[in-house]
Amino acid sequence: MTDTPVSPLPASTTDERTWSLLLHISALAGMVFPLGNVIGPFMFWLIKKPESELIDRHGKAALNFQISSTIYMIGMGLLVIVLIGLPLLIGYVVFWFIMVIVATIRAADDKDPNYLLSIPFLK
């Protein structure tokens, strides 16, 4: 088997890092507005994706995670009826918040976000 060499990603500019950082942190709008966690990153990604491969990559990762999280939270919200949903929902909201902050820090450090539990809707 031949291993294909992984080409290094091109260095990003400060402007690209700033936009990708804003893209990830905009998911915190979901704490104020319903579906703000999806709408915030989507707006940044939609506006800036044609300009940068880095922003496109970060935008897809953020949107995949936020859409997945919304689905998970709806499912956990339905499980509140059987009382197991409330502790699951509280735990997942803490996990979600930590993942958004970690992805924002990774974007500032010019690394891929690597969200956990993300379903790849956008490729």
- Report the share of the chain in percent with pLDDT over 90: 80
- Residue 102 domain boundaries: 14-108
Q: Is the pLDDT of residue 33 over 70?
A: yes
Query: Does residue 32 fall inside a structural domain?
Result: yes
The CA distances from residue 53 to 27, 40, 66, 89, 98, in Å, are 20, 19, 20, 34, 25
pLDDT of residue 92: 96
Please report whether residue 114 resides in a domain. Answer: no
The predicted pLDDT at position 123 comes to: 86
Is 1 inside a domain boundary?
no
Domain count, the chain: 1
> 120 in a domain, yes or no?
no
In a domain, 118, yes or no: no
> What six digits make up the tokens of 111?
């690394």
Position 123 in a domain: no
What pLDDT is stored for residue 5 in this prediction? 53
Check whether 11 has a pLDDT greater than 70: no
Query: Is 2 within the bounds of a domain?
Result: no
The answer to whether residue 44 sits within a structural domain is: yes
Three-class secondary structure of residue 44 per DSSP: helix
pLDDT digits over 71-115, tens only? 999 999 999 998 898 999 999 999 999 999 999 999 999 899 999
